[in-house]
Amino acid sequence: MNLKTFLQLYEDFLLDGEKKGWTIEILIKEFGNYLASIKNQAGVEVQFFIELDLENSETVTQTMKQSNLNYGVIRQKGEGDAFAYEVLDSFHQYWAKHSLKRKTYFIYNKP
């Protein structure tokens, strides 16, 4: 899967979260690093991050590299645990439903 496709999937997931009543705020949106604040209707907040490992990438061609992608949910321990699990599980279900390939390495063009 290429990075552009995955990020579109991520953005669509966030829009789907808004339909569930979650409040979404994009905190960081730059090449390789994305961070969104997600709040449920009870006011519990978690942060969903995506981080492309640019330092440990492998060259595929002169203009393309391959790298690992880390993603997950940052939460306040205790109260945020259940909502963090819900967000991550929802993301995995959304990913499985909307993508045939679920790989943790990604191809991207060198900036």
pLDDT: which is higher, 59 or 40? 40
Which percentage of the chain shows pLDDT scores above 90?
Answer: 41
Looking at residue 97, its pLDDT comes to 84
Q: How many domains does the chain contain in total? A: 1
Residue 1's pLDDT band, with cuts at 50, 70 and 90, is: low
Domain of residue 30 covers 3-109
Contact between residue 68 and residue 53 where contact means Cβ atoms under 8 Å apart: yes
Q: Tell me the whole-structure pTM to 2 decimals.
A: 0.80
